[in-house]
Amino acid sequence: MIYASPLKMDKQDSAITKVLGKAKYFGIYDDATNKLEVIQNHHTGGAGIFDELSKRGVNIVLTPHAGPGAINKSLELNIKLYYCGDERKMLLEAVKEFQDGKYPLITQQNFQQYH
Q: How many domains does the chain have?
A: 1
pTM over 0.85: yes
The predicted-structure confidence for 44-69, as pLDDT tens digits, reads as follows 766 789 999 999 999 999 999 988 88
The predicted-structure confidence for 93-112, as pLDDT tens digits, reads as follows 999 999 999 999 999 899 88
Domain that holds residue 92: 2-114
Interacting residues of 49 by C-beta distance below 8 A, sequence separation 6+:
20, 21, 23, 26, 41, 43
Mean pLDDT computed over 81-104: 96
CATH number at residue 99: 3.30.420.130
* Nearest Cα residue to 83 out of 59, 113, 53: 113
Quickly state the pLDDT bin for 21 (edges 50, 70, 90). confident
Strands 2-7 and 60-63, by their bridges, are parallel
